[in-house]
Amino acid sequence: MLVVAVTETALSAALGGGAAGPAALVVAAIRPGSWDPPLFIHVLGAMVLVGAAAAGVRAAFATDRSQAPDWLRRFGFRSLLLAALPAFVLMRIGAEWMRIKEFGSAPTPTWVTIGYTAADGGGFLLVVAIVLAWLAVRRGRPGFARAAAAIAGLALLGWIVTVWAMGAKPV
């Protein structure tokens, strides 16, 4: 539902009595209160997912130039496994719950399709990156850590584009 709220200053300016211009017009999208829990869960999961994936990618890429590469490999693996993966599940639960509340059985817009595509593809890449990061920790080889960072970085890039699509809602 779209609500146009006109402030008292804008109304008096429109009637010729005030100094405020058309910039005082406020347009707000009002959503039902029942959407708050699923939206909160979805956004919380997405924020933690992006942060944990970024930390894991940065740690894995830094292993080559570090004096403590084993610690960084473990940190990257743990941030992907213990933070990013649960955040991904939370984000997907919130997204599906929100889609059902907002659209029901109606066709979903393009920005929702972008979100589902990025989430599904990124989730697969996240699992692959976790396996590679585990191999990097287990075998102590920097090549596995670099591969995990590159794959998780690709998923992270897709998720950042999705954050733009969710905010801008281009189509």
Distance CA 93, CA 99 (A): 10
Element (H, E) at 17: none
Residue 87's pLDDT is: 97
- 103-106 LR contacts (CB < 8 Å, sep 24+): none
Distance CA 128, CA 146 (A): 13
Per-residue model confidence as pLDDT tens digits over 21-80: 555 555 556 767 777 889 999 999 999 999 999 999 999 989 888 888 899 999 999 999
Number of H helices, E strands in the chain: 6, 2
Average confidence score pLDDT of the chain = 84
Confidence bin at 103 (pLDDT 50/70/90): confident
Please list, in sequence order, all residues whose beta carbon lies within 8 angstroms of the beta carbon of residue 63, skipping any fewer than 6 positions away.
Answer: 69, 72, 73, 76, 136, 142, 145, 146
Residue 169's pLDDT is: 73
Select 34-168's CATH number: 3.30.2010, 3.40.720, 3.40.462, 1.20.120: 1.20.120
Confidence bin at 115 (pLDDT 50/70/90): confident
Mean pLDDT of 91-116: 88
* Domain ranges (residues) in the chain: 1-30, 34-168
Residue 105's pLDDT is: 86
Sign of CA dihedral 105, 107, 109, 113: positive
